[in-house]
Structure 1
Amino acid sequence: MNLPAVTYEPVCVRTRSAVLGLLLALLAVPLVPAAPASAHAVLLATTPVRDAVLGSPPSEVVVTFSEPVSPVPGRVQVLGPDGRRVHTGAPSVRGTTMRIPLRVPERPLGTYLVSYRVISADSHPVAGSFTYSAGAPSVSPPRAVDDADPQPAGALVPAAKYAGYLGLVLVVGPTLLAATLWPRRRSRRGVAGTAYAGLALVVAATAATWVGQAADSVGAPVGDLTGADLAAVGDSDVGVVLAVRLAVTAVAATLLPAVVAGRAGRWRRVTLALVGVAGLATWPLAGHPVASPLPPVSVAAAVVHLAAMSLWLGGLLTLVAFLLRGTHERVLARILPAWSRWATLAVGWLVATGVGQAALELGRPGALLGTGYGRLLLGKAALLAVVLAVAAGQRRLVRRGTAAARPRVVARAAGVELVATAVVLALTAVLVQTPPGRTADAEAARAAREGVAQTLTTSLYTLQFDVYPVTLGAPNSLHAYVYTPGGEALPVAEWTVSLALPEAGVEPVTVPVATPEPNHGSAEVRFPVAGRWRIRFTVRVGELDQATVTATVPVG
């Protein structure tokens, strides 16, 4: 997850109406219709391959995704040519691969439909379907029984995430300032109420996320959910994380009163800090970081990023709402420099973790302009440039010791800073619901895979292979599966795969093959020039039993 990486410099405003305006802006953003969230796990390969025609029905269907998934109970099915279910038992999942066991129907020839709904590692629902045929395609292929809305929760989940971030802002910053920099003669009632409101908002947002997750999981509108649907979320990885968040919030509520009142001892303050870190960790554990190429690094960076954002923005709201107006100038002259040092430290961590997270989630430089995720990041960067320019002027005032004495100047700057920050936070809520740039290649691979999936048959075996994304000069993935003529998986003793381009005089080049499964061979292939490449498979299935099949892959 990428949260706003911004720079703070102390500000003051003319009246508390600026604060109310900011809070209204923050709360109103979720009312804007949100774009549907796309699934973040991408379908990479299927066995049988999409639209394949087999000699006989297979004994199982294998579906491979770009990241680990969990099947939604009752939402993975295979329909036979007569429209009846042919899957037997629940699908099994190991890592990114889902296997669906099948039975042979009474009338096995015709088209089969595979439909699925799973939850990806970063909590997003993934739904889809494909067909294959045994013997010959049916005149009227079967239809899925369930044609539910792919995004039944609508804007509930992104709105809940936004509300959760706002709750953290209202808890972290006010609590820190109340415990460390609060003037003795100023009332703590307002800052305490702000922190409690933040805790309540976190609880409400977590509950809404739970409901939205249930709706997305079963593919039903929120109004049609049953108690069993809601309870089922508790058995998922996301449900466990949300339950931990609620428990941590309850513990924080018992520690908060004494800390905000300035009466807590060191052990209570340290305990609250540790509880807070545990609570912050529940956000990346239910989002993009847990499915990134480096999950531990991404989760740790996201926790620091989220903590720094909450400290900065929450502290800013606290200063504006409760301290800058009515506090003596000499007191402010002591508070503002200390807060400025803290905020500067937070800014450093925000920038460092934000850049690191962006690099991991984009995957490649081209994704910055070529994906929706990257363009959202550019929008955030443009707004942050405005905030940084304003903050530079504020920093000069702080260094000169004139910030507390020039409220009108910093008030105008504060308005720009607060409005820009509100929009940045809104973009963040959308960003965490957007497929990361690193999944764009997999999405393109899925789109480009049509036309390069083929089934080749010999008297010894049936071979199905899939090459994607068939890109010139770039690495492409090759997956091949071998079956008996009856459709059962056939272990391979030895693979030999070669590529050639006869029309350009390119002689056969042997490709190294890995064997993740007994009947499954995979390899990375490159096509340096355009043309009709010939791919040749020699498969040995016994001591003396082997056969060769050849296919053509158009490239460029």
Structure 2
Amino acid sequence: MQAALLCMWMCLLLIGVPAGVSAHAELERSVPEANTKYEQSPKAVELTFNEAIETEVGSIEVLDSKSRPVSNASPQVSEDQYSLTLPLPSLGVGVYTVSYSVVSADGHPVSGSFVFIVGNPPEGVDAATFDPHKELGHAGHSVSTQLTTNQFIIYAVRIVYYGALLWAAGLMLWPMLTRGRGHALPGIQQKWERTALRTLLIVTLVYIFVHARQILSGYPSEEYNRLFLQTTIGREWIAMIALIAAGFLVLRFHAVWKMAWALLVLAVESWSGHAAVYSPKSASVMFDFVHLSAGAVWAGGLMLLLALWRADRKEAGRFAVLFSRAALLSLALLILSGLGLTFLFLPSLEYLSYTAWGTILIVKTAFVLLVLVVGGILHIRVRKGDLPTGALLRADAALMALIIAAAALFTYISPLPANEPVTYHKMGDTMHLSLRVTPNKPGDNQFIVKVWLPEAVGAPKSVKLRLYSLDRKELGPIQVPIETYEDKEITSFDGYVKAAFMTEGPFIPFAGRWQAEIRVMDKEDNEQVEKVEFRNY
């Protein structure tokens, strides 16, 4: 009997020992602290665990808001092997993700992620950023990322406006480029400059009228004052009308003044598009300005060449030499600035397949390549001393019209898709569950989790929410610290007990595909796990 009791005691002791040893390392303290905002960049990331970790195995990665590593340095393990430190460069304003993966001294892998903030990051950019209703405080408007029939009129007017803008600005740039060459060219320039300005003024007024009516459809007429005086787009419209009116006075002055006017008009237009909302703003606006200026030189020069070709073929041949060089340089600048804008607007090239903006950009690129072919043939002809053929000029003009139309369309279609809130609900015999993530975009979001358990089971003992990046599966989960709150919505189910949890914060640090993992444990320590996949842009 004593031998049997001794044997049982030894077995219990042996069983109990591994239970104590198997407790693996856990993150005890971090600098910077999780979910904390700092005015200045921390100098390093330091993670302290509750037990020793392996010295040869372990990593820390810090990612910016585009999921790019901010440091290539190697982490250092402290002498007691309880801490891991990674030096950081000076971080700019933004949301940063710390991801760690270590192995405890007893061989257990431990990984996780958390978020911290530096400064006051700007609000994330998606399709909603380009909605003028937002500045006016109008709610309930959906943001379209596609070209619909209802938008046809405004885009048609936009195409004409864009063509008139490039035509007028281009004609005002060319007097400085030609410097009075030829006897017929100055007269043709003066004739078409005034015509182009009149056309631009009329088209601009029509465009503003149509666009303002579309924005304020269903709202009282008093809102027009706010639209023109209190919104960015309204003030830019007023500035553009004033500049066009001033252009008629500029026609009397030297070519330098004409060029200055043209560049100022293009600068105002470069601030009215998508470029003005992207960071760094200086780079995006500069790319847009170069893009518009190159397009204006090409469009204005081609219109002058067509007019000269009809009036004086020999002088058209001489002008074609200058134009072919300027056109090839303009197309090169169009391509380079277009690439710069695309990489600033889109996190990756796969976004080209998400919206009509990307489709139109691909079509526009194909037209530009065709123009390069036509321009190359024209350049070869004029170098040989041959006159440009009418068919070649008409082909170049047709392609120019198609490119202007494409550019006008995607200027007012959002480069990015619209983010939609996550609204997930699942009914089950053992649990009902709902998850909301609003507005569901990189940066600050509101997370709401509701759980209904059978009355016989009672309220849950714990509910945990974790986020996993499906694009960066090597990253550890981000713990979302949800807390109970008083839910005033009427969402009860007979025979079930409800528990509601909520938090707000930047727990989605970068765009992409995500998986929310909700772990619900009842009072008997029975755990149910629900996984919800979603994405944002």
Same fold, judged at TM 0.5 (above): yes
Are residue 185 (structure 1) and residue 216 (structure 2) matched? Answer: no
Report the CA distance shift for 1:412/1:72 in structure 2 as closer, same or farther (over 3 A): closer
1:438-492 superposed Cα distances (whole Å, 9 cap, x missing partner):
x22xx3x517x231699xxxxxxxx98528879xxxx99863379xxxxxxxxxx
Question: Structure 2 unaligned runs (5+)?
Answer: 1-122, 428-433, 450-462, 483-501, 522-526
Q: Given that residues 158 and 207 in structure 2 are in contact (C-alpha distance below 8 angstroms), is that contact kept between their aligned partners in structure 1? A: yes
Q: Quote the sequence identity (%).
A: 18
- Contact 1:477/1:524 (8 A) holds in 2: yes
Distance in 2 separating the partners of 1:72 and 1:271: 38
Give the whole-Å Cα distance in 2 for the aligned partners of 1:298 and 1:514: 37
The answer on whether the counterparts of 1:156 and 1:208 sit within 8 Å (CA) in structure 2 is: no
2:249 aligns to what? 254
CA displacement at 1:305 relative to structure 2: 0.8
In structure 1, distance between residues paired with 2:287 and 2:270? 9
2:280 is matched with: 294
- Any residues of structure 2 matched to 1:222-233 within 5 Å, and which? 226=221, 228-233=222-227
Secondary structure of 1:286 counterpart: coil
- Contact 2:516–2:531 (8 Å) recurs in 1: yes
Aligned residue number for residue 413 of structure 1: 392
Could you tell me whether the CA contact under 8 Å between 1:453 and 1:467 is conserved in 2?
no
1:491-506 correspondence runs (5 A): 499=466
1:341 alignment partner, one of 296, 307, 325:
325
Say what the alpha-carbon RMSD is for the aligned residues.
4.6
One-letter identity of the residue aligned with 2:309: L
Amino acid of the structure 2 residue aligned with 1:191 = Q
Deviation at 1:184, TM superposition (A): 4.9
Check the 8 A contact 1:511/1:525 in 2, yes or no: no
Which residue in the other structure is 1:306 paired with? Answer: 292
Distance in structure 1 (CA, Å) of the matches to 2:302 and 2:476: 63
Call closer, same or farther: CA 1:308–1:514 in 2, change over 3 Å: farther
Q: Given that residues 309 and 346 in structure 1 are in contact (C-alpha distance below 8 angstroms), is that contact kept between their aligned partners in structure 2?
A: yes
Q: 1:324 is matched with which residue?
A: 309
Letter in 1 for 2:266: L
Match of 1:552 in 2: 530
1:511 to 473, 478, 486: 478
Contact kept, 8 Å, 1:466 with 1:478, in 2: the verdict is yes
CA contact (8 A) 1:289 1:298 kept: yes
CA distance in 1, matches of 2:440, 2:135: 31
Q: Letter of the aligned partner of 1:420 in structure 2?
A: L
- Structure 1 pair 70/414, CA: closer, same or farther in 2 (3 Å)? closer
Q: Name the SS for the 2:321 alignment partner.
A: helix
Q: Which residue of 2 aligns with 1:403?
A: 386
Cα distance, 1:203 vs. partner? 1.9
Q: 1:161 corresponds to which letter in structure 2?
A: R
2:420 equivalent among 442, 446, 451: 446
Does the C-alpha gap of structure 1 residues 167 and 333 become closer, same or farther in structure 2, counting only changes over 3 Å? closer
Question: Aligned equivalents of 2:302 and 2:195: distance in 1?
Answer: 17
Tell me the equivalent position of 2:405: 426
* Displacement of 1:290: 1.6
Output the CA distance in 1 between the equivalents of 2:208 and 2:480. 44
SS state at 1:234 partner: helix
- 2:405 maps to a residue whose letter is A
Query: Contact conserved, 1:152 with 1:216, CA < 8 A, in 2?
Result: no
Query: 1:213 aligned to 211, 214, 237, which one?
Result: 211
In the alignment, the residues of structure 1 paired with residue 518 and residue 358 of structure 2 have an alpha-carbon distance, to the nearest angstrom, of 37
Is 2:234 aligned against 1:239?
yes
Q: Deviations over 1:77-99 (max 9, x none)?
A: xxxxxxxxxxxxxxxxxxxxxxx
What letter is aligned with 2:203?
A: A
TM-score normalised by length of structure 1: 0.54
In structure 1, give the amino acid aligned to 2:423: E
Change (3 A) 1:345 1:453: farther
Mark the CA change 1:519 to 1:335 in structure 2 (over 3 Å): closer, same or farther. same
Who is 1:279 aligned against?
Answer: 265
SS class of match (1:451): strand
TM-score normalised by L of structure 2: 0.56
Aligned length: 358
Report the secondary structure of 2:297's partner residue.
helix
AA at the equivalent of 1:446: E
Partner Cα distance (2:414, 2:513) in 1:
32
Deviation at 1:433, TM superposition (A): 2.5
Deviation track 1:404-460 (CA, whole Å, cap 9, x = no partner) reads 3xx5xx322222222222222222222223221xx22xx3x517x231699xxxxxx
In the alignment, the residues of structure 2 paired with residue 335 and residue 346 of structure 1 have an alpha-carbon distance, to the nearest angstrom, of 16
Matched ranges for 1:441-480 at <5 A: 443=418, 445-446=419-420, 449-451=422-424, 466=437, 479-480=446-447
Partner of 1:543: none
CA contact (8 A) 2:520 2:529 kept: yes
Q: What SS does the aligned partner of 2:312 have?
A: coil
Kindly tell me: are residues 364 and 73 of structure 1, through their superposed partners in 2, closer, same or farther at Cα, counting changes over 3 Å? closer
Q: Which runs of 5+ in 1 are unaligned?
A: 1-62, 77-114, 118-124, 128-149, 259-263, 455-462, 483-495, 538-548
Map of 1:384 onto structure 2: 368
Give yes or no for contact 1:152–1:219 (8 Å, CA) kept in 2.
Answer: no
**8 Å Cα contact 2:294/2:331 also seen in 1:** yes
The 1:427–1:72 alpha-carbon spacing in structure 2 relative to 1, beyond 3 Å, is closer
Cα 1:476–1:534, aligned 2, differ >3 Å: closer, same or farther? farther
- Structure 1 CA distance for aligned equivalents of residues 162 and 294 of structure 2: 12
Any idea what SS the aligned residue of 1:499 has?
strand
Cα shift at 1:312: 0.6
Deviates more, 1:411-420 or 1:185-194: 185-194
* Aligned residue identity for 2:167: L
- The answer for the alignment partner of 2:163 in structure 1 is 166
Q: 1:273 to 1:415 in 2, by over 3 A?
A: closer
Change (3 A) 1:306 1:70: closer
Secondary structure at the aligned position of 1:251 is classed as helix
CA pair 167-247 structure 1, distance change in 2 beyond 3 A: same
> Looking at both structures, which has the greater relative contact order when contacts are Cα pairs under 8 Å and sequence separation is at least 6?
1
Would you say the 8 A contact 1:211–1:230 is kept in 2? no
**Distance in 1, Cα, partners of 2:257 & 2:406:** 33
Aligned residue for 2:423, secondary structure, equals: coil
Whole-Å Cα distance in 1 between the matches of residues 281 and 224 of structure 2?
Answer: 28
2:514 & 2:299 partners in 1: Cα distance? Answer: 53
SS at match of 2:349: coil
* CA shift for structure 1 position 71: 5.4
Instruction: Describe the shift of the 1:287–1:452 C-alpha distance in structure 2 as closer, same or farther (beyond 3 A).
Output: farther
Q: Which residue number corresponds to residue 140 of structure 2? A: 116
| TM superposition shift of 1:309 | 0.7
Alignment partner for residue 368 of structure 1, among 343, 346, 352?
352
**Residues 152/481 of structure 1: CA separation in 2 closer, same or farther (3 Å cut):** same
> Counterpart of 2:386 in 1: which secondary structure?
coil
Q: Distance in 2 between matches of 1:510 and 1:187?
A: 68
Q: CA–CA distance in 1 between the matches of 2:514 and 2:391?
A: 59
